[in-house]
Chain A
Amino acid sequence: MIQIKNLQKNFGRKHVLTGVDLTIKDGEVTTIIGGSGTGKSTLIKCIIRLIEPNDGQILVDGKDITHIKSALELAQLRRNFGYLFQEGALFDSLSVGENVTFGLKYLTDTPKNKYAAIAKDMLALVGLKDIEKLRPSELSGGMKKRVALARVLATGPKVILYDEPTSGLDPIMSEIIDELILDLKKKLGVTSVVITHDMKSAFEISDAMVMLHEGKVKLAAPREEFKKSKNPYVKQFIEGSSQGPIKMTITK
């Protein structure tokens, strides 16, 4: 279980998270929605401490990880987590195959001779084949995203943080990824936190949904409750309407 209490983060004078309270239950899929730039990525980066919060608390299975400093302890914390980066963050000096198996060396005891088979299997899970030898620069955007996902899956994390797993994918591929997330939950009991802008997929995969707005949680609730919510912010966001309390302006 991940408990987040009054979490705050600012970059210089810019206050991004202004007091997030949230509980993420084990074995559930929790989706986070919210406008662009409201701090969704920042929030999940705090959870695996790629970013150190300014204030508040994060407890992972009861352990306070908010201000861990030692590299060893941080490595220990991240051991159970997988993180899918919004832009993939593949290592462009390595081949696709080496990217997928990168974490095995550090996070598992898998013998080297199994790497090739694992790379193949993981790529197959995300619908890719025979691309192990290619470089990331030779892939399309959607392929990069899926290779990045394969890299996350390879180490068998218990908690996976997805930063927009289906953005940039075609509808069919998005559906396949959604099914994959649900499969991981059912078969392996993986806990997932998914940032998404795709409402349809959010309603399909979520156990719980969270809406972030201006650095705070507007609403966190089980899916059905969330769907029916009368909260005007949530309603406007779900309906994708430009009319409502959320003001997004195009600055000229």
Chain B
Amino acid sequence: MFKELGRFLIAFFNQLGQASGMVRSAAVWLFKGPVEVRQTMLQTTRVGVDSVAVATLTSLFTGMVLALQAGVTMRDILSEPLYIGTIVGFSLVRELGPVLTAFVIAGRAGAAGTAEIGTMKVTEQIDALHTLGTDPIRYLVIPRIAAFVIAIPVLTLFANVSGMFGGYLVSVHSLGVSSFVYIDDIKTFIKVGDLMHGFIKSIIFAFMIAVVCCYKGLNTRGGAEGVGKATTAAVVISMVLILVMDYFLTAILQAVGI
């Protein structure tokens, strides 16, 4: 039992070390060579376009259900659906927007990235990159990190808007809140700091997903089966890390007053 835990921890820290080695060489390449602009743009549009529909749809319904729950609760406590806009807005902007968008993207673009890089690894295309004078870090990893870090905050913004719109629909049409009150509740209470809070989170999630997915892809072994395993692992690790990091980030950001 302890032995297994120990082995797990060793493997964990080993991989953590290797992944940070990857980040370090990404930083080195970033300073040394020109960035692969074309690859970066390609990946960014792919991540964005791939996930925009799922991200906004997920968030739309989340906003709707938030409004519904908040409305009913408020009606029970205060006998009136008050502050629905504030509740929906806060939850989305600070928490659910960044977290859900990161989830969706980890499952969509993250998985696709690991599968693609993993396939390249097992078919020696990664080796071919080396023999043709470039490097997988430069050609594959940096463009993906950039793409995720650019696309995820933008998608999070879309998700926030769409979620608040979902909340609006439910508030106005089934809870009987006037549209002016709903919007005013959002405008009065949600500050730039709240937006920053969500924004910082989404950037850090984006970076983390990209690193995990690229790392897992580059370390794929053993044919098609290995690609499947790497992809599943990348998505599961990303999702767990999103939740774990979300807690600590919230704590840190609150401590510094954002």
Contact = CB atoms under 8 A, between A and B. Distances in A.
Interface of A: 45, 48, 50, 71-72, 74-75, 78-79, 81-83, 85-87, 89-93, 102-103, 105-107, 151, 155
A81 B131 CA distance: 7
B50 interface: no
Contacts of B123: 87, 89, 92
A92 B125 contact: yes
A102 B131 CA distance: 11
A107 B133 contact: yes
A105 B132 CA distance: 9
Contacts of B25: 71
A82 B131 contact: yes
Nearest to A51: B127
A74 B25 CA distance: 14
B32 interface: yes
Interface string B112-133: 0000100110011101101111
B28 A89 contact: no
A72 B32 contact: yes
A215 B128 CA distance: 24
B130 A74 contact: yes
A83 B126 CA distance: 13
A89 B130 CA distance: 12
A155 B132 CA distance: 8
Interface residues of B, number: 19
B133 A75 contact: yes
Contacts of A105: 133
A83 B125 contact: no
B133 A106 contact: yes
Contacts of A79: 133
A106 B34 CA distance: 11
Nearest to B128: A89
A87 B119 CA distance: 13
8 shortest A-B CB distances, which residue pairs? Answer: A106-B133, A103-B132, A89-B124, A107-B133, A89-B128, A83-B131, A106-B134, A50-B127
B135 interface: yes
A81 B132 CA distance: 9
Contact of B135 (A75, A82, A87): A75
A73 to B, nearest CB: 12
Of listed B125, B132, B134, residue having the most chain A CB within 10 A: B132
Interface in B1-58: 25, 28-29, 32
A107 B132 contact: yes
Nearest to B33: A106
B127 A89 contact: yes
Contact of A48 (B28, B32, B131): B131
A91 B237 CA distance: 28
Contact of A155 (B127, B130, B133, B135): B133
Contact of B116 (A45, A93, A102, A151): A93
28 contacts: A45-B127, A48-B131, A50-B127, A50-B130, A71-B28, A71-B29, A71-B135, A71-B137, A72-B32, A75-B133, A75-B135, A78-B131, A82-B131, A83-B128, A85-B124, A86-B124, A89-B123, A89-B124, A89-B128, A90-B125, A90-B128, A102-B132, A103-B131, A105-B133, A106-B132, A106-B134, A151-B132, A155-B133
Contacts of A102: 132
